[in-house]
Amino acid sequence: MSRIERRFARLREEGRAALVTFITAGDPDYDTSLAAIRALNEAGADIIEIGMPFTDPMADGPAIQLAAQRALKGGQTLARTLDLVRALRETDADTPVILMGYYNPIYIYGVERFLADAKAAGVDGFIVVDLPPEEDTELCLPALQAGLAFIRLATPTTDDVRLPSVLANTSGFVYYVSINGVTGTAVPDFEAVAASVARIKRHTDLPVVVGFGVRTGDHAAAIARGADGVVVGSAVVEALRGSLDADGKAGPGTVPAVTALVRELAEGVRSVARRG
Amino acid sequence: MSNKPNSYTAGPDEHGHFGIFGGRFVAETLMPLILSLEKAYGEARRDPAFAAAIASHQTHYIGRPSPLYYADRLTEEVRARAPAGQGAKIYLKREELNHTGSHKVNNVLGQILLALRMGKKRIIAETGAGQHGVATATLCARFGLQCVVYMGAVDVARQKPNVVRMQLLGAEVRPVQSGARTLKDAMNEALRDWVTNVADTFYCIGTVAGPHPYPAMVRDFQSIIGREVREQVEAQEGRLPDSLVACIGGGSNAMGLFHPFLDEPSVEIFGVEAAGHGLDSGAHAASIAGGRPGVLHGNRTYLLMDGDGQIEEAHSISAGLDYPGIGPEHSWLHETGRVTYLSATDAEALAAFQQLSRLEGIIPALESSHALARAVDLAAQRPRDHIQVVNLSGRGDKDIDQVSALLAASNNEGAGA
């Protein structure tokens, strides 16, 4: 059983949804982001998504665009992102780690070498925004072969005809994008999201988590009623940004700013009991 | 240079690949839209009424065919400096005489007619120099469609006349403040808009890049340039041309000129990238000369990037060439060796801009001036019966403020020296 499967099995026993939190690697510097990521699990995150910064994040809104720019300015690279996962694994052997980003840095690193290094570092899976099923031979199939999860995004535009091809090579869980749009820009319609999650669940036994636009504990609770997990990205990244000084430097308040929000989100998720 | 294809015009394959280049590297939200666009374009291509509508608007609205003009004073100037017996006949394909002042309108006409067939009411576009934005705003006005144009804030400042033009035509110009605030960032922002407004919006991409089917579709709409050149050279010279030269940012004017000649082995073909301050300066926009294959904006192609795969900022005097990538079909034509890719610097383009203005009474766009800069060198190395066709892809009115500022600055430097 993989780390992701073990984590969802445990959450099923606890009768609750997963809280998945996102932080951009190296935002605003390597040490701060490592400290923040290390604090996530204790604050209540069940799965950690780590953003691989890219210059041209076409599916991201301003919050995550700026986080990527801060990280790149701070010297973050894909190799340093793998270093960060390795460092996290020294203190946390169990929390699933998903790398999220865009294909070009991986392509340039070299797919085979990247998969080997990511696996050795302790990565569990990937979300690569610009690799739809039509491009599965690029990274998805090699990742599955290497025993790593490839988590696909399903969106409001993914209809029942297309859904099977989106789900075909998906593993770990399915990430339902709750809005048409970029990250962190709109609050989803929770009823519509619940209906969409139910629709996806008719096609797959994999856990379905929901993200894009979840900002508060109340949002998280609303999503957690129907979904197997809630992803929060832009709001966490904005909490981090709000703690930076005028020069964009982190201070003693940075990690607490992140963990305070994650605690609120975790309470929201835990307030909703789910039938096993 | 390995495994030469039987034909250079058969691509792309059903997955949108030209060799390893092209593809559909987009977010899932956009995939269903791209598939429906591919289907709609396939149906339109087979519909004689669609071709007839394009032809009618080309004649009565755009003013096609554009002339093929023998630039005899430019040719004489080249011959005066060339070795004895050398100096090709230089013809200019006058795309700058199209309505809106560049080749961009050829593609926009096709895409807008397709958007109407698909029932889309809102058109978005990215623009660098503003030529594609103006063409899109123009056809949206003509057909009563809502138009939003994304333009890098830097380009908004350096191409002011085109911004005013778009606004007069009823378009909303949204300055883009992210990244280097030029064409690449405008394209990111247009993609973000499209992801957000999937139901009613058609993304009118301005060049032969982006996810499949855009590179092939835009090429098809631009190929009217090369088809006319074939007929016009045949009428004026009774044979095929010997060489073709076009500038390349994304490469749509070049693909349009080149494509009908790719399977004519006697025709030499040259694309000219923007070398900015020089290929060694790090400040240029020559993706083939200074880049390598990567994935951006929906396709795999040659890109300018650092060792970590982060996209680097391009630089060119010309806003229309200021893009760190190139259309995927060009990448393939480079790797197969069918097309030779050269480059011209800012200074060379500026000199060619002035040369054509003075010798032929034609003010070329700074983009097209890159093609002219290399064309005169190539012509000087070829015999006098060699027929060279240069794509004069746009007119330079939009550039005169920038050029006069650059010339004033270089005159001041000269005076101080």
Verify whether the Cβ–Cβ distance A54 to B310 is below 8 Å: yes
- Check CB contact of A157 with chain B, cutoff 8 Å: yes
Structural element, H or E, at residue B406: helix B400-416
Q: Which residues in chain A are contacts of B195 at CB distance < 8 A?
A: 58-59, 180-182
The tens-digit pLDDT sequence of chain B (417 residues) is: 456 788 999 999 999 999 999 999 999 999 999 999 999 999 999 999 999 999 999 999 999 999 999 999 999 999 999 999 999 999 999 999 999 999 999 999 999 999 999 999 999 999 988 999 999 999 999 999 999 999 999 899 888 889 999 999 999 999 999 887 889 999 999 999 999 999 999 999 999 999 999 999 999 999 999 999 999 999 999 999 999 999 999 999 999 999 999 999 999 999 999 999 999 999 999 999 999 999 999 999 999 999 999 999 999 999 889 899 999 999 999 999 999 999 999 999 999 999 999 999 999 999 999 999 999 999 999 999 999 999 999 999 989 988 999 999 988 876 554
3-state secondary structure of A73: helix
Q: How far apart are CA A70 and CA B159, in angstroms?
A: 30
Verify whether the Cβ–Cβ distance B28 to A132 is below 8 Å: yes
Q: How far apart are CA B239 and CA B195, in angstroms?
A: 48
Alpha helices (H) along B314-399: 328-336, 346-360, 366-380
Q: What is the pTM of this model?
A: 0.96
Q: How far apart are CA A139 and CA A59, in angstroms?
A: 19
* Residue from B295, B297, B304 whose CB has the most chain A CBs within 10 Å, to mutate: B295
Contact of B93 with B225, CB cutoff 8 Å: yes
Q: How far apart are CA B164 and CA B176, in angstroms?
A: 16
Q: Which residues in chain B are contacts of A55 at CB distance < 8 A?
A: 179, 310-311
Verify whether the Cβ–Cβ distance B308 to A103 is below 8 Å: no
Q: How far apart are CA A114 and CA B43, in angstroms?
A: 41
Closest by CA to B141, choosing from B162, B119, B110, B172, is: B172
Residue of B25, B32, B179 lying closest to A157 (CB–CB): B32
Q: How far apart are CA B309 and CA B296, in angstroms?
A: 10
Q: How far apart are CA A274 and CA A8, in angstroms?
A: 13
Q: Which residues in chain B are contacts of A58 at CB distance < 8 A?
A: 27, 188, 191-192, 195, 297
- Check CB contact of A103 with chain B, cutoff 8 Å: yes
State the smallest CA–CA distance between residue A157 and chain B in angstroms. Answer: 6
Residue of B28, B192, B310 lying closest to A105 (CB–CB): B310
ipTM surpassing 0.85, yes or no?
yes
